[in-house]
Structure 1
Amino acid sequence: MASTVSDRPGYGQLLRTPGAWTFLLPGFAARQPFAMLTIGIVLLVQHTTGSYGSAGAVAAVTGVSMALFAPQTGKLADRFGQRAVLLPGVLVHAASVSLLVTLALAGAPLWALFAAAVPTGASVPQVGPMVRARWAALLGATPDRPASPLMATAAAFESVTDEFTFVIGPVLATALCTGVHPAAGLIAEAALTLVGGLLFAARRATQPPVRATRLPGAPRHASALSIPGVRVLAVAFLGIGAVFGGMQVSITAFAEEIGNPGANGVLYGVFAAGNMLAGIACGAIAWKSGPRRRLIAGYTALALTASGLWAVHSVPLLAALGLLVGLCIAPALISGYTLVEALVPGSARTEAFTWLTGAVALGQAGAVTVAGRLADAHGASAGFLVPLVGTVLALVTLVALRSRLLPTGVGRTVARGIGHRGPVTVD
């Protein structure tokens, strides 16, 4: 059944959910580092080595490490609780970032920076997925109740929050690195991780319960990646990561080429602002189509807008096209995260969210590496080819495997058990 304006709850009702603010505020601080880490590394290492390729490679090692370890972090959080994972994780991350900064400023060889980048990425706290899991625990379907209509609003709100961090994070990191010290962005990232992560972990009342349940027909503690729809979404989110990574490096190189490094933060901020504005709109609109159809439509628009980045050579045009690209990302992200609630049981949901977050990080890692090499060899315009290629390949996969994004038993409400799903809109 299609939603109508009258039955679509708004952000105000969502934020009045009991206990919401106790995890939203510290969670917002703790998720800033995800938006600051890559650009902070690129700016610091490029300053100390003079090479965008080397800077992108170090950032890529961090991203790959995060992509590999994030799902395991999510799986541990599902099994043992978020607090048990967060407390040691934020301490390790702060120490690892401190080591990376020290080595970079000391002129250490590239292999030493790679070695420090591994624990830096592996220990990035997965606060965004954990916040989404808390919303799902508060509002999602259980054997005793159907999913709240606020779930779709929560998915939109979280994407708005993510995009808001991508407005603030890169601009803040760039301002600190260019205006204070090349290492200031990473130092601020480590401080926010430590303080925000500890405060978030302290909010135990809203932590999802630890459940010793298993996926239907699967071994106990089977990976959420065993669900075909999650694998398809992970591929789609790889392409989104390629946009983030390619834009970060290529915009930085473009700003250097025109002799205005300060334009970097402004241009990336405009791109991220498009994300945020589209996210706000997605949460306010009463959609008549299902999330699968919206995902494909949004992704198609994303691939089309990203295809023109390489041909733009002026700041106003790049800002305008970057805004359009940003406007297309949020619908794809929100639709993908909304599909998770229908595809994945609650006992594996944090892990599923971290697979998607990890896919973004992996796509970003590959993109900063390739875009960095292309920017070094052929200029910033060549780096902008990375978002084009990444989104087109992911879109082809998404369209070809779209049938796997339909939840099992779609259109039926199961009375009891882990397979319970609330009614969903059928494409």
Structure 2
Amino acid sequence: MLTISLVLLVEHTTGSYGTAGAVAAVTGVSMALCAPRAGRLADRYGQRTVLLPGVVLHSASVAGLIALALAQTPVWALLAAAVPAGATVPQIGPMVRARWAAALQGAHPSLVTTAAAFESVTDEFTFVIGPVLATALCTGVHPAAGLCAEGALTLAGGILFAAQRNTTSVPQRMATGTRTDHPTALSVPGVRALAAAFLGIGTVFGGMQVSLAAFAHEIGRPGISGLLYGVFAAGNMLAGVVYGAISWGRGPRIRLLGSYVALALACAPLWAAHTVPALGSLGLVTGLCVAPALITGYTLVDALVPSAIRTETFTWMTGSVAFGQAVAVTAAGVLTDRFGSHVGFTVPLAGTAVALGVLVVMRGRLVTRTRPVTAAGVIGHRRPVVVD
């Protein structure tokens, strides 16, 4: 709800999708830069310790941003206020995925894939409901109503999630009793390849949000943008259900490459759609291609990184999506202001095409490495040996 509500509010107060996209982009960049640090702190000190102050600060930041927008303050003030609003976005999704990974440690890979698909489906349910609710509130109640609801729901949901202590894993500091420094997530080569893939997925989300809103405005039906984006997210959710129910014979690297090729191809004809049915149909197909790429990427995260940096790694993925979304809403906003919504739809195509090229080049880093195991010494053994 955050990005689309922000775009609709700022466009209402400034009259420019370019300005609205820039403000929304600042929140995305700020989140992308701060989310991994929050994930690292959660791995070390516990999720509750990081989450509770985060949701309070986020709600307060959103309230300040609303006040500045309604007061029609200069653009620089909106951009400055967008920084804390994005930096404090609670990383509940990565935290939930880290809990799933801890609960299923040692389980069969197909069960891990199913859990990742289940989590993706619940995420996409919010992507179905969120844009529709935000658009309805912004266009039918008040331009700031969407952001008000986002802040309130984030605060309530964050507090309720933090109260669920029975599923949280033991923080690394508590588990060892001492401060333990672990390598950062980006030191794992495969994580960098996945980050590039998730950047491209972020451009799909950001480009679709701005371009769909602009398209609905052009045809004189602003309320339909939430419905169109809901159809896109519904396709994503439906694909997640099907994908998680299948026991795949192919490895996750091949599945990721195949699903990403399909996503890039699905984005190709979006710019040529000029009617609601055509755009809805193409959006549905695009959504169907997003979930497999996301789910497989999250499955690879669990296989590539140690548990000590799992939450941090998941936040890098979320941050990559946010950064890609930020770039996309900025680019799509500028293109839409100058050339119309149909040109804005080229942003998802460009983002996925570039990310696909990077992913193909770096595909060799997505192979799960067997961790070395030290054989314990017994009487008569000369010394422990490392077996790779």
**Is residue 2:195 matched to residue 1:230?**
no
- Residue 201 of structure 1: aligned partner: 162
2:208 to 247, 258, 261: 247
Displacement, 1:209?
Answer: 1.1
One-letter amino acid of the structure 1 residue matched with residue 270 of structure 2 = L
Distance 1:289 1:213, change over 3 A: farther
Check whether the contact 1:139–1:148 (CA below 8 A) recurs between aligned residues. no
**Is residue 2:285 matched to residue 1:321?**
no
Displacement, 1:149?
Answer: 4.6
**Is residue 2:219 matched to residue 1:258?**
yes
* Segment of structure 1 superposing worse, 273-282 or 159-168: 159-168
Displacement, 1:159?
Answer: 0.8
Check whether the contact 1:140–1:148 (CA below 8 A) recurs between aligned residues. no
* Cα distance in 1 between the residues matched to 2:108 and 2:189: 22
- Residue 30 of structure 2: aligned partner: 65
Displacement, 1:40?
Answer: 0.6
**Is residue 2:248 matched to residue 1:287?**
yes
1:408 to 338, 361, 369: 369
One-letter amino acid of the structure 2 residue matched with residue 356 of structure 1 = M
One-letter amino acid of the structure 2 residue matched with residue 155 of structure 1 = A
One-letter amino acid of the structure 1 residue matched with residue 328 of structure 2 = A
Deviations 1:225-277 (A, max 9, x none): 11010000000000000000000000000001111111101111111100000
* Cα distance in 2 between the residues matched to 1:278 and 1:398: 22
TM-score, normalising length: structure 2: 0.93
2:118 to 157, 165, 180: 157
- Residue 304 of structure 2: aligned partner: 343
1:29-178 alignment runs, 5 A limit: 36-141=1-106, 149-178=110-139
Deviations 1:296-336 (A, max 9, x none): 00000000010111111111111101100000000000000
1:248-397 alignment runs, 5 A limit: 248-397=209-358
Deviations 1:352-388 (A, max 9, x none): 0000000000000000000000000000011001000
Displacement, 1:221?
Answer: 2.6
* Cα distance in 1 between the residues matched to 2:268 and 2:174: 44
Deviations 1:360-417 (A, max 9, x none): 00000000000000000000011001000000000011111101000112xx895899
* Cα distance in 1 between the residues matched to 2:350 and 2:210: 15
Displacement, 1:161?
Answer: 1.1
Partner of 1:266, secondary structure, is: helix
One-letter amino acid of the structure 1 residue matched with residue 168 of structure 2 = Q
One-letter amino acid of the structure 1 residue matched with residue 97 of structure 2 = R
Partner of 1:392, secondary structure, is: helix
* Cα distance in 2 between the residues matched to 1:290 and 1:156: 16
One-letter amino acid of the structure 2 residue matched with residue 43 of structure 1 = L
Gaps of 5+ in 1: 1-35, 418-427
What is the aligned residue count? Answer: 372
Check whether the contact 1:213–1:220 (CA below 8 A) recurs between aligned residues. no
Check whether the contact 2:110–2:247 (CA below 8 A) recurs between aligned residues. no
Check whether the contact 2:204–2:325 (CA below 8 A) recurs between aligned residues. yes
Check whether the contact 1:339–1:405 (CA below 8 A) recurs between aligned residues. yes
Deviations 1:193-218 (A, max 9, x none): 1111011111122111112599xxxx
Mark the structure with the bigger radius of gyration: 2
Check whether the contact 1:67–1:359 (CA below 8 A) recurs between aligned residues. yes
* Cα distance in 2 between the residues matched to 1:95 and 1:211: 30
RMSD: 1.7
* Cα distance in 2 between the residues matched to 1:131 and 1:43: 29
* Segment of structure 1 superposing worse, 219-228 or 153-162: 219-228
Partner of 2:172, secondary structure, is: coil
* Cα distance in 2 between the residues matched to 1:285 and 1:278: 11
* Cα distance in 2 between the residues matched to 1:191 and 1:204: 22
TM-score, normalising length: structure 1: 0.85
One-letter amino acid of the structure 1 residue matched with residue 72 of structure 2 = G
Displacement, 1:164?
Answer: 1.1
* Cα distance in 1 between the residues matched to 2:210 and 2:137: 17
* Cα distance in 2 between the residues matched to 1:371 and 1:353: 27
